[in-house]
Structure 1
Amino acid sequence: MIMETAAKRTKRIKWDFWTIVTVAAFALILLFLVYPLFNIFAASFYYDGKFSLETYKDFFTLKYYYGSLINSLIVCVSATFFAICIGVPVAYIMTRFDIPFKGVFHILIILTLLSPPFIGAYSWILMLGNNGYITNLLHDLGINVKSIYGLHGMIWVFTIQFYPHIYLYVSGALKTINSSLEEAAESLGSTRWRKFRTVTMPLIFPTLSTGALMVFMASFADFGTPMLLGQGIKVLPILAYEQFINEMGSNPAMASTLSMILLVVSTSILFLQRYLVTKKSFSMSSMRPPKVIKLKPLQKFFAIAFMLVVIGVSMIPQATVITTSFLKTNGPVFTNQFSLDSYREILFKVPQAIIHTFTYSSIAIVFMVISGLLLSYVIVRRSSKLSSLLDALIMIPYVIPGTVLGISLIIAFNKPPLFLTGTWIILVIAYCVRKLPYTMRSSTAILYQIDKSVEEASISLGVPPMKTFFKTTAVLMLPGVLSGAILSWVTTINELSSTIVLYAGSTATITVTIYREVFTANFGTAAALASILSLCTILSLIIVNLISGKKGIPV
């Protein structure tokens, strides 16, 4: 009887192309995401080959370990707060006031976001490090300033790097607020500040909290900036990496425990944000979007001045990296002489790192584009409990720090039958798992905008459903998918957190090479490599702008 029921259920399953896509997606997710995470979870409970809670006990009793969590929370909470303080005014000015050069400002802000944080850290070291330009200048003037190293330096770099997350989310919300709500507050005698505090802020809170979550997650998971600026101050990703890869002997159990703590904190923050949004969310109609306010000359001057200061400071790392890449070096010191030696040196020393970066990222993006097209169709057009579960599983890497993912993949695939550790394949897998959620979001967003009637019309004319998808739906989706894919590609070539754990000597990428060059005081070659990444980021933004056909970058 049971066998007959199972046979009937099997017959009920329609084994078409989309079912095969769904099954294949679940199989890959289970293999390369769920299985590695389960392995790292299990490894955290094994010490010296037997089940033990020793590592968890050590974490919560030894300051060396729990202090790293405290440091991480101080840095992330502070960076999120200051990013809100900068991002909200920038978004308000850009959406509500008639200032010139909005398109240029927008692109420059996005460029700040897409540049890797550790390059920003490296740039600020050149300026405010122990022997930095600004440090030496102020010292000559008799002013002693604290160097960029320490928790305050991490907070500064993360704030400048990630405030665009707040800007993007808040500006989108401010554009859709129903202006009648704010007008009603004004008619009741509310001042501009009280109106903003009691009406505007509650309305944009859901999107503001999402932007804040992005800032917190990005700061919490970052590896390069704390490693460059820490100077002995540990945060969780650094400690997990050092416990896993240590010259004095690694401690996989403690590395796994630290990785689980990272994952639990990330997930808890995500659930806290969701809880706050559901508790304090407001619905509104956007039928009457707010009008752009014309400023008086003095007001416009101060608004533009504020924007120039914020964007100017944001662009300092980019300008510093590009400028110093053309300077001659004398050991670790830059001279005032123009030179292309740094570029000649990287082409001679590390050409493979450049080739690896673009090869691995391009392979990952091809997979992500195909996955974005197929899986978004399964999730949107063939909606079910199974597709909802698939969507949830795909979004799990959204809260997984790169260091955790890297450690989990090594623990899972460092022995037969699937030995991938040290190969380029494991890097491509990590990139796909890490960045697929972002490509998926752009793919599903564009598919929701395509009316089903377009597909129905094609099918009614005798075109088979599969041919309709590839000839019609996929073609209509492609601009949005490519825009998201190119932006994912930019973040992939700039990826350090997972790469630093997974790479071998023969698979080093640009980011890893920059990291190594900085630590060996080869600042010229580090600047040249960082400039290549910056140039690729700029070109990618231009391409996205052309593909989207809009003014600005659709991030």
Structure 2
Amino acid sequence: MQAGKRRDGWTIVSWVLMALFLIFLVWPIGNLLKEAVIKDGTFSLDAFQAFFGKEYYYGSIFNSLKIGIAVMAVSLILGIPFAYFYSFYQLKGRKLLFVLCLLGTMSAPFLGAYAWILLMGNSGLVTKLLKSIGIRGLTIYGFWGIVFVQSLKLFPLVVIYMNGAFRDIDNSLLEAAESMGCKGVKRFFQVIMALTMPTILAAALLVFMRSFADFGTPVLIGRGYSTFPVLIYNQYLGENGADYHFAAAISVIAVIVTAIIFLIQKLATNKFKFTINSLHPVEPKEVHGVSAVLMHAFCYILVALAMLPQLYIINMSFRNYNNSILQPGYSFKNYQKAVEKMLYRSIGNTLVVSFVTLAIIIVIAVLIAYLVVRRSNAFNNAIDVISMLPYIMPGGVIGISLILTYSKKPFALTGTLLIMIIALTIRRMPFTSRSATAAIMKIPVTIEEAAISLGASRAKTFAQITVPMMASGIISGAILSWVSIITEMSSGVILYNNRTITLTISTYAAITSGIYGVAAVFATITTVFTVVCLVLYLRFTKAEDIRM
């Protein structure tokens, strides 16, 4: 009877989680699909015909794919060597280097675009300096500008993944390769890259998805280079009114495209399935001479470029502006103006939304991880699969699907903080869920069985033994989730109003209004939040870095 109750307890958890995902994810996506194929009460594919009948529309698919692939390639080219130098060699200031690398990615991508406009736009600081020495025509706008900004923002994600992968390599394998004459560059490509290929593919997919779904960077510096997220936003909030039918159809196409990319990555990963037991982890060794100079130069110059936008934005937050016209001198006038532009409300909403969302994500992610690993069955695995669906969905798709479902009574949630919390919980769940699942898989089940055999209940064992042992994995995923929550743009820009505005949306609104000094204030405060978050993580976990 007691065992039955225990089973019933976890069965109830499974059904509650499934019900939540059906209500807040599956049902909205179903309504999105319905909106895409139903017009005036009848089945119609006219929206899809309109999309594929005009090059401007279907060309956005190829534009987004080209950007995603280019950013993915550049991020891998930059991130893998960075992680290799960091993991295998004793670089000077390693911890500072890694922290700065993380800070480079811990902000909304569009903030980097905004900063580079200030630096390399038509009247940017760098642009003026180049013109003064006779160099013209260099611009941040267009395809290569998007690739440049997104790559600097996303390559640290590759570093995070690859740093963990390199540390899991057993040094005896590398020594064996050297004894067989496989050294230097040859060893790197034939042994190290082969051993870390599953991680490389996972990092590549994450970068591609983040690039593909990015709304802010293309909308600011695309200059007519249409991408999927921008097209969805324009159809939903176009000058001629919202076209839900067409926006829904584009959203469905976006999901199909990203799902295909996801499946391709999964098939490729399956060809590299193996396990590594790192009994003798790689120890970073000293490096001297020209090699040391080149390694340090590569890493520090790259980090400097990634950090430059944020440092410049902080500087610009204190510069005197007359709306969009830069004036001489420094002051706190921008901060005073920001207070008038709902600064306190933006901060309050950001804190409420981020912490409530993160708390929900952690609880659900831990439960899903336990169900999938310790109580694996078809039903629990289905919950896991459904929870991962947002991983392949642009934020605008989530936003539109929730509006279609919860904009009418009795479920009128549009314009509330609750709908933003729901959207962010759904969208950012996969980060913590995957991390928690990986953490619990490393915990031997015999530890839990020993606790139970000593008289502890299953609930007590779960709460006091299993969850604390999962802590590092949970925190790593939670950090990435929290940062992505407070910098969320693509779904928030569709869901917000003046009562629910956040720091990121306030920044975007100020940029589009040409109030650049105030925008810099909002962006600076967002950066401060991410810095505090990272410092607290490193301090309380005593970790040297973040691993996935």
Q: Does the alignment reach a TM-score above 0.5? A: yes
Moved more, 214-223 or 108-117: 108-117
| Alignment CA distance shift 1:91-1:468 (3 Å) | closer
The 1-side partners of 2:366 and 2:225 are apart by 44
The 1-side partners of 2:191 and 2:446 are apart by 39
Residues 161 and 547 in structure 2, CA contact (< 8 A), matched pair in contact too: no
The 2-side partners of 1:48 and 1:500 are apart by 28
Q: Tell me how far 1:215 sits from its aligned partner.
A: 0.8
- Answering whether residue 539 of structure 2 is matched by residue 549 of structure 1, we say no
Q: Within 5 A, what are the aligned runs for 1:357-376?
A: 357-376=350-369
Q: Tell me how far 1:32 sits from its aligned partner.
A: 0.5
Q: Within 5 A, what are the aligned runs for 1:369-518?
A: 369-478=362-471, 480-518=473-511
Equivalent of 1:210 in 196, 202, 215:
202
- Answering whether residue 137 of structure 2 is matched by residue 151 of structure 1, we say no
Q: Tell me how far 1:479 sits from its aligned partner.
A: 5.5
Q: Tell me how far 1:172 sits from its aligned partner.
A: 2.2
**Residues 228-283 of structure 1: CA distance to partner in whole angstroms, max 9, x if unpaired?**
11122210011011111223122212111111111111111111111112224555
Residues 397 and 433 in structure 1, CA contact (< 8 A), matched pair in contact too: yes
Equivalent of 1:269 in 255, 261, 265:
261
Equivalent of 1:110 in 102, 105, 114:
102
Amino acid at match of 1:21: V
Q: Tell me how far 1:471 sits from its aligned partner.
A: 4.1
Q: Tell me how far 1:505 sits from its aligned partner.
A: 2.6
The 1-side partners of 2:445 and 2:478 are apart by 24
Residues 479 and 547 in structure 1, CA contact (< 8 A), matched pair in contact too: no
Q: Which residue of 2 aligns with 1:5?
A: none
Q: Tell me how far 1:404 sits from its aligned partner.
A: 0.6
Structure 1: unaligned runs, 5 residues or longer: 1-10
Amino acid at match of 1:499: G
**Residues 386-440 of structure 1: CA distance to partner in whole angstroms, max 9, x if unpaired?**
2211111111111111111001111111222312122221101001111122222
- Answering whether residue 54 of structure 2 is matched by residue 78 of structure 1, we say no
- For the residue of structure 2 that corresponds to 1:507, the secondary structure is coil
Amino acid at match of 2:51: F
Q: Tell me how far 1:47 sits from its aligned partner.
A: 3.2
| Alignment CA distance shift 1:179-1:121 (3 Å) | same
- For the residue of structure 1 that corresponds to 2:225, the secondary structure is coil
- For the residue of structure 1 that corresponds to 2:196, the secondary structure is helix
The 2-side partners of 1:308 and 1:506 are apart by 42
Residues 95 and 171 in structure 1, CA contact (< 8 A), matched pair in contact too: yes
Q: Which residue of 2 aligns with 1:317?
A: 309
Moved more, 21-30 or 224-233: 224-233
The 2-side partners of 1:14 and 1:540 are apart by 37
- Answering whether residue 228 of structure 2 is matched by residue 236 of structure 1, we say yes
- Answering whether residue 165 of structure 2 is matched by residue 173 of structure 1, we say yes
Residues 324 and 527 in structure 1, CA contact (< 8 A), matched pair in contact too: yes
Amino acid at match of 1:98: Q
Q: Within 5 A, what are the aligned runs for 1:220-299?
A: 220-281=212-273, 284-299=276-291
- For the residue of structure 2 that corresponds to 1:422, the secondary structure is coil
The 2-side partners of 1:34 and 1:201 are apart by 38
Over 6 Å off, 4+ runs: 11-15
Equivalent of 1:306 in 276, 298, 321:
298
Aligned-CA RMSD value:
2.2
The 2-side partners of 1:137 and 1:499 are apart by 36
- For the residue of structure 2 that corresponds to 1:328, the secondary structure is strand
Amino acid at match of 2:57: Y
Equivalent of 2:324 in 323, 332, 346:
332
Q: Tell me how far 1:457 sits from its aligned partner.
A: 4.0
The 1-side partners of 2:246 and 2:191 are apart by 48
Q: Which residue of 2 aligns with 1:4?
A: none
**Residues 504-542 of structure 1: CA distance to partner in whole angstroms, max 9, x if unpaired?**
232111111111100111111110110101010010001
Q: Which residue of 1 aligns with 2:113?
A: 121
- For the residue of structure 1 that corresponds to 2:193, the secondary structure is helix
| Alignment CA distance shift 1:422-1:274 (3 Å) | same
The 1-side partners of 2:208 and 2:461 are apart by 42
Amino acid at match of 2:340: F
Amino acid at match of 2:26: V
- For the residue of structure 2 that corresponds to 1:329, the secondary structure is strand
Amino acid at match of 2:223: Q
Moved more, 447-456 or 397-406: 447-456
**Residues 121-144 of structure 1: CA distance to partner in whole angstroms, max 9, x if unpaired?**
111000001111111121222221
- Answering whether residue 90 of structure 2 is matched by residue 98 of structure 1, we say yes
Equivalent of 2:521 in 521, 525, 528:
528
Q: Tell me how far 1:458 sits from its aligned partner.
A: 3.8
Residues 160 and 547 in structure 2, CA contact (< 8 A), matched pair in contact too: no
What is the TM-score of this pair, normalised by structure 1?
0.93
Structure 2: unaligned runs, 5 residues or longer: none
Q: Tell me how far 1:450 sits from its aligned partner.
A: 3.8
The 2-side partners of 1:84 and 1:433 are apart by 27
**Residues 486-511 of structure 1: CA distance to partner in whole angstroms, max 9, x if unpaired?**
43222111111110111123211111
The 1-side partners of 2:200 and 2:494 are apart by 33
Instruction: Tell me the number of residue pairs that the alignment of Structure 1 and Structure 2 aligns.
Output: 545
Q: Tell me how far 1:480 sits from its aligned partner.
A: 4.5
| Alignment CA distance shift 1:195-1:81 (3 Å) | same
The 1-side partners of 2:185 and 2:472 are apart by 41
Give aligned-pair identity as a percent.
Answer: 36
